Structure 1
Amino acid sequence: MTPTPEQIQAAMAAHPRAFRDTNAVRARKIALWVGFFGLFAWCLYDFNFAPERIWIGLGRLGRVMSFMFPPHLWETWTEWLEIFTALGETIAMAFMGTLLGAVVAFPLSFLGAKNINRIFWLRQGTRRVYDVIRAFETLILALIFIRAFGLGPLAGILAIAVSEIGTFSKLFSEALENTSKKPVEGVVASGGSRLQSIRYAIMPQVLPVHLSVLLYNFESNVRSGTILGIVGAGGIGFILSDRISSYFWDQAWTIIFLIIGMVYLIDYLSAQIRTRVIGKWEGAR
């Protein structure tokens, strides 16, 4: 049945926001858009995004890029060994930092999950600890630990580990909260205790998620490890920083190529592990 014009007018009068925004809503939308474009224009002005400056910068970038080609190829095994050792150091630093962070974060995640920890003040206090830890950028932590423990991979490992404690704790606790209640009810109905319900009903649901998070963060920490090396935490970033500061642009470009290859290889291997392990896990369920 097609409504008559009178019915349409009556519906528009009764429910005006279903057909058009009110004047107040339109004014708020206009104010938001004006504020957005005003902030964008102010940022362009304050940060000096001048066309002349961009053009000059692109010219300088082109000259720097020209110094990088052709990439340098070292002639002795000793020189190559130094580079490969630094790459391995970066991977090891990311691995140890990720592992230590996960080991500490795993038990903390249970304190922050509302379906596990029913004590409100303890749960909220634990979550605020997550937030405090995550507020510190890995680079800042590396600078602090370099001052405390000196230059080298140890500072990078500790920086990654502390940063990952906050990240893993939050993600692990959210995975615990998002589990289905039906397996838990089944275990409890069978006479299982609370600990048994966690072990046999909750953990099989969250472990594939935990593994996926671990692999992704390990990939991310390999890239972070490169940056940490630039500030003195060891690894390939330290050598890259040295070559750039010495204006050996061709060697720097070769190192960048090797870093890209390393990240790609780790990404590929992580995807294979994720597919095989998590796929088998879900198939077993």
Structure 2
Amino acid sequence: MNRARIALTPQDRERLARAHPQILTPGAGARVRALLLVTFLAALAAFGLWRLDISLARVGTGLAQLGHFIVLMLPPDPGTQLPLYIHALGETLAIAFLGTLGGALVAFPFGFLAAKNVIPNIFAHFAVRRFLDTVRGVDKLIWALIFVTVVGLGPFAGILAIATSSFAELGKLFSEAVEALDRKPVEGVVSTGGSPAEAVRFGMLPQVLPVLASQLLYYFESNARQSTIVGIVGAGGLGLHLAEQIRVLEWQKVSFLILMMLVMVAVIDFISSRLRFAIIGKSRIG
């Protein structure tokens, strides 16, 4: 629907300027503060470029080298290792799926424990939130390095890394979804004599499950990409083979592995997007 544009008369502009002078006609102090902020940010950026030894010459050299590598990558060729790479692709999908599922199963109860409208005790709520923040503050790649040391190389370390990181991130998202629920269904269950557990079961779960399912699908899509990254440090999947081929300068195999990852992510993105829209649509109709 097109919205009509309202034209202000000079008299209207004058009245607005009198009513809100700090917005329409900022004073000299505001202009000076804005100029100082822009100058500070520009100086900070220039200092960062100088301190990190970033120059146009290095950027140009890097781009030329990148172009040379791209030429070496063409055409993509798996050689005789196509069956091995297909198996690694299955490992990558398994790491993403099992890691996301495991993290979601643990995050589900924590999402309710971290929600203010479920656990009103401020100390318990604070403790659960800070625990999730602590786990979430460690990147998936760091968790992968930790679990590779603990359980050894292979997909199991990748699954544990994805599950641990996803548990904390999904727990925070789940708690926010629970806190944003409409209280009327919960109050209706309580007013008819329902227990707190029944209020959660019949008042909260029907509202929150479609949102949680949509978030879970998005995280599976994201973890499919992340599972390749954690594989580079020895957690199995395509990432492990990608790191090996880069070390031995087999650039045609590197490009084939990258192409496999792009296709995998595109397919997962397409399917998960359709499923998310279907879930959201059904929840709105319901």
Do the structures match in fold with TM over 0.5? yes
* Equivalent in 28, 38, 42 of residue 43 of structure 2: 38
Give the aligned partner of residue 27 of structure 2: 22
Residue number in structure 2 paired with 1:212? 214
Which residue is equivalent to 2:144?
142
Which of 117, 120, 123 pairs up with 1:118? 120
CA–CA distance in structure 2, aligned partners of residues 159 and 267 of structure 1: 22
Q: What is the CA-CA distance between 1:129 and the residue it aligns to?
A: 0.7
Aligned to 1:223: 225
Letter in 2 for 1:103: L
Name the amino acid aligned to 1:48.
D
Q: Which residue of 2 aligns with 1:282?
A: 284
Take 1:71 and 1:229, find their aligned partners in 2: how far apart are those partners? 21
Equivalence for 1:262: 264
Shift of 1:165: 1.3
Distance 2:74 2:136 in 1: 40
Counterpart for residue 61 of structure 1: 66
**Alpha-carbon distance between aligned partners in 2 of 1:2 and 1:74, rounded to the nearest angstrom:** 74
Equivalenced residues, count: 278
What is the SS of the residue equivalent to 2:113?
A: helix
Which residue number in structure 1 is paired with residue 4 of structure 2? Answer: none
The within-5 A match list for 1:135-174 is 135-174=137-176
CA distance in 1, matches of 2:278, 2:119: 33
Kindly provide the amino acid, as one letter, of the partner of residue 184 in structure 1.
V
Q: Distance in 1 between matches of 2:186 and 2:138?
A: 36
CA distance in 2, matches of 1:228, 1:251: 19
- Judge conservation of contact 2:214–2:279 (CA < 8 Å) in 1: no
CA distance in 2, matches of 1:121, 1:222: 36
Distance (whole Å) between structure 2 residues aligned to residue 266 and residue 3 of structure 1? 57
Which residue type is aligned with residue 203 of structure 2? A
Greater displacement, 256-265 / 34-43? 34-43
For the residue of structure 2 that corresponds to 1:102, the secondary structure is helix
- Give, in whole Å, the separation in 2 of the partners of 1:272 and 1:16: 49
The answer to whether the aligner puts 1:70 opposite 2:75 as a matched pair is yes
Give the one of 101, 104, 108 matched to 1:102.
Answer: 104
Q: Which runs of 4+ in 1 moved over 4 A?
A: 1-4
| CA-CA distance at 1:85 after TM superposition | 0.5
After TM superposition, the score normalised by the length of structure 1 is 0.90
User: Displacement, 1:268?
Assistant: 1.5
**Deviations 1:24-51 (CA, angstroms, capped at 9, x unpaired):** 3333222211111111222222223312
**RMSD of equivalent CA atoms:** 2.3
State how far apart, in whole Å, the 2-side matches of 1:43 and 1:275 are: 43
- Is the alpha carbon distance of 1:22 and 1:246 closer, same or farther for their aligned partners in structure 2, counting shifts above 3 Å? same
Residue in structure 2 matched with residue 271 of structure 1 by the alignment: 273
Structure 2 CA distance for aligned equivalents of residues 31 and 193 of structure 1 = 59
Letter in 1 for 2:237: G
**TM-score in terms of structure 2 length:** 0.90
Report the CA distance between 1:83 and its aligned residue: 0.7
Name the CA distance, whole Å, in 2 between partners of 1:27 and 1:115.
Answer: 45
Once the 2 structures are TM-superposed, how far is the Cα of residue 19 of structure 1 from its aligned partner?
4.1
1:131 is matched with 133
Unaligned runs of 5+ in 1: none
**Residues 190-242 of structure 1, C-alpha deviation per residue, up to 9 Å, x if partnerless?**
33222222111211111111011111111111111101111110001111111
Identical-residue share of aligned pairs (%): 43
